[in-house]
Structure 1
Amino acid sequence: MASDRARTVSSAGNSEALRKYLAEFIGTFVLVVGGVGAAVIAGDRIGFLGIAFAFGLSLLAMVYTVGPISGCHINPAVTLGLLLAGKMERRHAPGYILAQCAGALLASGVVLLWAQGAPEGYSAAAQGLGANGFGAHSPGQYGAGAAFLAEIILTFLLVLTVLGATDSRAPVGFAGLAIGLVLTLIHLVGIPLTNTSVNPARSLGPAVFVGGWALEQLWLFIVAPLLGGGLAAAVYRTVRSPVETLTAAQAERSLESERAERLAHRRPTETLP
């Protein structure tokens, strides 16, 4: 009997973990399709401002869509920051990161297929597929030092906002707005510098299809965002006062009273003919 209960608990735990990983996969897919897709398909029409809002709105939508399930990290740097801040279980971190990278790779492939359907065709190697870069591959020709510093600081800003917006004392229901808007701001600053990464998974996806220079420069867009995420966690743990810690997923759910009210007003499902 005890072994049956243990197997049931283990099965439920595995199912819950898989739901979290699937949510991270979907969230990262949407972020990259929305942001990188806007840059590749419509960048010449909407400009840097439009691309910045595409990334920000994609993240905002996913916070409210998959946030209650997984916390909507959809970024290995955010996962690292939440892990170091004690706001997620260590055992889930590898699964989150693998799901994020897989979502970004699939999304980048989809964007490339779309772009290749244009009358003039599209070459990822020649046209870049929205990959992040520095030096000759930076939109503003910024060097590696400036790019490295920018990615650390901008990721720090993103992860610190995620940590603060999902704090137990933060206004309930507004985390998505704060996080989506700060990502928009970050892209307004960062696109001319590096095309804006602040997310190793977002950088990995296009780089795999571009190859060459994108893979050679990928290290910067893995190392710098992770350093920024770790720095944000250290600052957050230093400045916050000891209170109950919420995971990002808990903070992004509606209140128990709100859920109860929704259920109380639920209409019975009508019988289909």
Structure 2
Amino acid sequence: MQVKSLQPGPAQLRTLEDEPQPVVAEFVGTLLLVFFGVGAAVLAAEYVGTLGIALTFGFVLLALAYAIGPISGSHVNPAVTLGMLMAGRIHLEMAVKYWIAQIVGGIVGAALLFLVAKQVPGLKTSETFGSNGFGDRSAVGINTGGAFVAELILTFLLVYVVLAVTHRVAVVGFDGLPIGIALATVHLVGIPLTGTSVNPARSIGPALFAGGAAITQLWMFIVAPLVGAALAAYVHKLTHPQPNVPAATEPEEEV
């Protein structure tokens, strides 16, 4: 019996880059994650609380893992894409396409949510609108350093779990379950601290519509998640050693 590496080979990666479906899937997936996840915070926080918001993010990502996981890997997060890039599972060209699709998807998702929120009498959208923050924009008043460390560790957990439970670009089988649980968990911890970003695309969209301090503090929720993702990719290589050589270039092993 022949045993082959689970790393994607050059043919697989070229196919992924040549087809538009993965990029479109990342756009749609990020749009839905922002609309429903941030929507739970903006429209339903009074009714569902922190637990409900956390579960909404987790359940949406779980659903997306099954819906678009086989197509794009269901990253819907620039930090996850960075982790995949550093793990050698996608090429830089495809990662850039994913990042653009995710950011645009997040903005469109926030725009649609903004339109809905404007139809709710008395609902305030300025300054907050599900955006992330620290200092006086944090429920517990966490400072700049604390927010950076929190976002780094929360993102580390999410990206580390994604890399650990998947062995290629696609999300298959039960891979989506631990990923959804991880996202819900980081929200349970992070919502009182920063509102939980762990995803630059999720932060950029709402901040653009919130304005004010949400924009000036946005750098934190771009830089910290990316640093956390890079650290997760490095640690994953130490705990899950595997060759980053495309399968097509590896000799097949007879068993």
Alpha-carbon distance in 2 for matches of 1:88, 1:63: 17
C-alpha distance 129-246 of structure 1, shift in aligned 2 (>3 A): farther
Aligned residue in 2 for 1:45: 47
1:210 has 2:218 as partner: no
Q: CA deviation at 1:101?
A: 0.5
Question: Does residue 20 of the first structure (1) align with residue 4 of the second (2)?
Answer: no
- TM-score, structure 1 as length reference: 0.81
In structure 2, relative to structure 1, the CA distance for the partners of 1:206 and 1:172 (3 Å cut) is closer
Q: Name the counterpart of 2:110.
A: 108
Larger radius of gyration: 1
Q: Is the 8 A contact 2:160 2:236 kept in 1?
A: yes
Q: Distance in 2 between matches of 1:202 and 1:90?
A: 21
Determine the C-alpha separation between the residues in 2 that align with 1:246 and 1:50: 41
Q: Cα distance 1:194–1:231, how it changes in 2: closer, same or farther (>3 A)?
A: same
- Residue of structure 2 equivalent to 1:231: 231
Change (3 A) 1:211 1:246: farther
Partner of 2:142: 142
Number of corresponding residues: 233
Give the conservation status (yes or no) of the 8 Å contact 1:197–1:203.
Answer: yes
Q: Please give the root-mean-square deviation of Cα atoms over the aligned residues, in Å.
A: 2.2
Instruction: Normalising by structure 2, report the TM-score.
Output: 0.86
2:44 is paired with a residue of what secondary structure?
A: helix
Q: Is contact 2:161-2:182 (8 Å) kept?
A: yes
Q: Which has the higher helix share?
A: 1
1:148-186 Cα distance to aligned partner (Å, 9 max, x none): 000000000000000011037xx9611100000010000
- Give the secondary-structure state (helix, strand or coil) at the position aligned to 2:20: helix
Distance 1:25 1:185 in 2: 24
How far does residue 119 in structure 1 lie from its aligned partner after superposition? 2.4
Q: Which runs of 5+ in 2 are unaligned?
A: 1-10, 248-255
Distance 1:227 1:240 in 2: 20
* 1:221 corresponds to 2:221: yes
**What percent identity do the matched residue pairs reach?**
49
Name the residue aligned to 1:124.
125
**CA 1:73–1:172 in structure 2 vs 1: closer, same or farther (change >3 Å)?**
closer
Gaps of 5+ in 1: 1-8, 248-273
The answer to whether the Cα contact below 8 Å between 2:66 and 2:172 also exists between their aligned partners in 1 is no
2:82 & 2:203 partners in 1: Cα distance?
16
